[in-house]
Every structure is written in C-alpha cells, then in structure tokens.
C-alpha cells in the first residue's frame, strides 16, 4: 500500500486523520525501502486544511452553530511510531504502534492525542498447522457525518483480540477457524458507535489451486451487548446475536490482472426487541489491472451492513464504488486520482411504519502525489472534495467540503 493512499478519503475529518494514525503501517515499505528490518522508527508532520470541518449545510448560520463566522480549520498533526518485524525460526512477531498529537488552529477544544497499536504473532506448529494471535486498538476522531455535537471532542476507541488457525490436511485443502473479542466505545456515544462488546467465532473450508488462486467459505457467529444506548427506548435491546457466511475468491489468472470477489449474507437478532432485527447481503469485489509498468487501474465495489441506534432507524447499508487510476512516473514519484460514490440507505421496521426515509449519496474526488527524494524521506500532498446529498426530510444534512494536506515523514 503506498503512502499516497494514506489520505484517500480526504472529504471526511475522521477518514483524513485515520489515514495519518495508520501512517506507519501503510508506509513502511515506501519510506524505508527495507520492510524486513526488525525495528523501524518513524516521525511525521502533517498540515490539513478543511473548509467545512463540521460538515455543516450551506444554509446554517455558523455563528449560531459553532460560535465562529467561518467553518474552515487548519489542523497540525505530529506522529511518532515504531514498526516491529522479528523472525524467530518459524515464528514471526510483527507490530505497529503510534502516537499522534492533533492541534486545531481555531477549535482548540478538539486538541488531543491518539494512540494506536496492532500486534500479531504469526505462529507455526507444524508445516501444516499455522495461525495468528493478534490484538489491535484504533482511536479515531468523530465522524461529523453522524456526530452532530460540534461543542466537544469525541474519540471512538475500537479494540479487537483474536486467534486465527489454518490447517492443511491434504493437498490444497485448508480448514479455517478462530475466535475473538472486540469492544467499541466513544467519549460520547453516537448512533453508529454506541458502547458495545462482542464475542465471535468463525470456521470454514478453503482450497488453494496450483496456480495460486484460492477460494474460502467461512461462517461466523457472534454474541454481543450494547452497554449504553443513546435513548432509553433501546434499554431493552441490549443483547443481540449475529450470524453470517461469506464466500471469497482470490484469482491471479494473469500477471497484469488480479481479482478478489467476496459475497455473503448477514442477519442480526435482538433478544429483547425483535423490531430492531435486520438482515441482508454483503459484498466486496476488487479488480486491479497493471496496464503498463507505470499505469495501474483499480476498481472496487462493496456493500456492508452497519447497526444504527436511532429513534426510527436500526441499521444502514453502505454501497461504495471506487475507481483509482495511478501513475508511477519514477521510483521516487507517483500520482493517483481516486473517485468514489457512496450510497447510505437507512432502514428498519420503525422507519417503515413511520413512513420516514433517508438515503445519503456521497461523492468523493481526490488527487494525491507521493514523492520520495531519499530512501528515508517521503512527502505526500493531497487535494480532496466531498459532496453529500441526503433525502432526510426532518433535517438538512446536505453539505460540500474541500480539503488539502501536506505531509513529511522520516524513518530511521
């Protein structure tokens, strides 16, 4: 993954800063040129400009909404990070940890730090039995697409700890299994990030052909609980059970083309409140075409289902379509221009009964350049545009937003 992909979704503050938080993981190979080094240190500094930080509609009086006569903001971010890659015989320990400090020029009450880590032990019991034990923590600033309180800082904290096993009993056949525990919490619970915890287990079957293509069929079962809800109405909808299955195909038919297809179905049942149940299909398809040594086209289409704890909506589906042309002018300079279109469709039994509909359509456009003048130095520049058109009749949620960023990273 190139550094130029770090800020691929520049239209949203949450995604913009998330790209910085994971800078170390995305840029190890690009900055240092030695991803197999047992220990690598990173520092980076980034300047962001956002002309509509809180995603306000054009007709909103900014003085009344945020106490300022403008809606734009400059943000400075400094990151210190470490990457670990240590091999012990057949065992491998990998990890990334980073701390990012944010300074907002105008809205200084949003200032603060973000700590992230991602650690994994890739173990081998025998030549036919292997797996991974991993743990990760991600902190992200509030996504003002959903979090509408502009008077306070809000961080979402997600943690996941899991065991993954893979056994190869015969030929190209594989048995897959594992389980884990995950939590989500926020400084202020929002509709899309209520405080919750979940235990999950998965298992399935896979096959790898001699040509390198593989197919997997995996089922997943989870038991979860909401520890806090946005309104007392959901106090009786705390416990839930979620089941899903997924079929994944990864093919490499030609050296210039790679294809990844994922399709599945998910259903969630709430023990105390069946009115909040939902189900639907999920998908993720990605095609990469290396047209020449210097020109690469990538297209992706995906659909996800996400719970949404609101008065009338129980979940939303997100359909995302992206197309990214990328040009590698030299080993030191590359440029990409991602274009995206997202459709968020909110639903639920209560919404249908109330005859209230909401569909958000979001277009994203960006241009990014990555320059590596020296082996341990990387400079990234990005311009972005994001436009939302919402059908929600109870509130004007439309907005336009433009962003720019400049980042300098050093590795040791």
Taking the alpha carbons of 132, 133, 139, 142 in that order, is the dihedral positive or negative? positive
For residues 16-30, one letter each, b for 16 or more C-beta atoms within 10 angstroms of the residue's C-beta and e for the rest, the string is bbbbbbbbbbbbbeb
- What are the tens digits of pLDDT across the range 35-62? 568 899 999 999 999 999 999 998 888 8
Instruction: Return d(Cα 177, Cα 219) in angstroms, integer.
Output: 9
| Pick from 5-14, 75-84, 356-365, 400-409: least confident | 5-14
Q: Please, which pLDDT band fits residue 276 given cuts at 50, 70 and 90?
A: confident
Instruction: Return d(Cα 176, Cα 168) in angstroms, integer.
Output: 9
Q: Which of 78, 242, 212, 68 is nearest to 151 (CA)?
A: 68
Q: Please, which pLDDT band fits residue 238 given cuts at 50, 70 and 90?
A: confident
Domain 3-411 = CATH 2.40.480: no
- Give CA separation, 59 vs 62, 226, 338, 395, 399, in Å: 9, 36, 29, 12, 9
- What are the tens digits of pLDDT across the range 97-137? 999 999 998 889 999 999 999 999 999 999 899 999 999 99
- What are the tens digits of pLDDT across the range 283-334? 999 999 999 999 999 999 999 999 887 778 889 999 999 999 999 999 999 9
- Give CA separation, 197 vs 18, 101, 204, in Å: 22, 27, 24
Pairwise pLDDT comparison (351 vs 49), residue with the higher score: 49
pTM: 0.85
Instruction: Return d(Cα 257, Cα 285) in angstroms, integer.
Output: 13
CB-based contacts of 184, cutoff 8 Å, min separation 6: 156, 157, 158, 193, 194, 195, 196, 197
- Phi–psi pair at 296, nearest 5 degrees: -130, 135
pLDDT given for residue 133 in this prediction: 98
Q: Please, which pLDDT band fits residue 228 given cuts at 50, 70 and 90?
A: low
Q: How far is CA 145 from the centre of its chain?
A: 15
Summary mean pLDDT of the chain: 86
Taking the alpha carbons of 124, 125, 128, 132 in that order, is the dihedral positive or negative? negative
């Amino acid at each position: 993954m190139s550094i130029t992909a770090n800020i691929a979704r520049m239209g949203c503050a949450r995604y913009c800063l998330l790209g910085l938080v994971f800078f170390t993981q995305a840029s190890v190979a690009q900055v240092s040129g030695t991803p197999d080094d047992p220990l690598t240190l990173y520092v980076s500094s980034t300047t962001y400009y956002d002309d509509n930080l809180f995603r306000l509609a054009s007709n909103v009086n900014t003085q009344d909404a945020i106490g300022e006569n403008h809606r734009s903001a400059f943000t400075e971010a400094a990151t210190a990070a470490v990457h670990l890659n240590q091999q012990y015989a057949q065992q491998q320990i990998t990890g990334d940890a980073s701390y990012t400090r944010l300074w907002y020029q105008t809205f200084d009450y949003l200032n603060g730090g973000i700590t992230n880590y991602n650690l994994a032990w890739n173990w081998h019991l025998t030549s036919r039995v292997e797996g991974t034990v991993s743990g990760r923590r991600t902190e992200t600033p509030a996504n003002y697409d959903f979090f509408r309180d502009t008077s306070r800082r809000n961080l979402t904290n997600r943690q996941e700890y899991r065991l993954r096993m893979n056994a190869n009993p015969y030929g190209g056949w594989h048995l897959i299994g594992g389980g884990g525990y995950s939590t989500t919490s926020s400084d202020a619970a929002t509709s899309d990030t209520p405080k919750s915890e979940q235990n999950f287990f998965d298992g399935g079957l896979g096959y790898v052909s001699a040509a390198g293509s593989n197919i997997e069929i995996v089922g997943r079962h989870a038991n979860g609980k909401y520890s806090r809800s946005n309104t007392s109405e959901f106090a009786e909808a705390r416990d839930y059970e979620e089941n899903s299955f997924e079929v994944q195909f990864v093919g490499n038919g030609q050296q210039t083309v790679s294809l990844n297809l994922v399709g599945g179905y998910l259903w969630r049942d709430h023990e105390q409140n069946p009115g909040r149940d939902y189900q639907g299909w999920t998908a993720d398809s990605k095609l990469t075409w290396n047209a020449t040594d210097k020109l690469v086209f990538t297209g992706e289409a995906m659909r996800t289902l996400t719970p949404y704890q609101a008065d009338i909506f129980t979940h939303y589906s997100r359909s995302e379509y992206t197309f990214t042309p990328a040009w590698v002018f030299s080993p030191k300079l590359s440029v990409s221009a991602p274009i995206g279109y997202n459709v968020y469709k909110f639903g639920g039994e209560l919404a249908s009964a109330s005859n209230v509909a909401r569909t958000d359509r979001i277009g994203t456009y960006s241009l990014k350049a990555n320059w590596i003048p020296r082996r341990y130095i990387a400079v990234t520049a990005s311009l972005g545009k994001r436009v939302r058109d919402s059908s929600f009749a109870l509130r004007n949620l439309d907005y336009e937003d433009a962003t720019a960023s400049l980042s300098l990273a050093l590795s040791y």
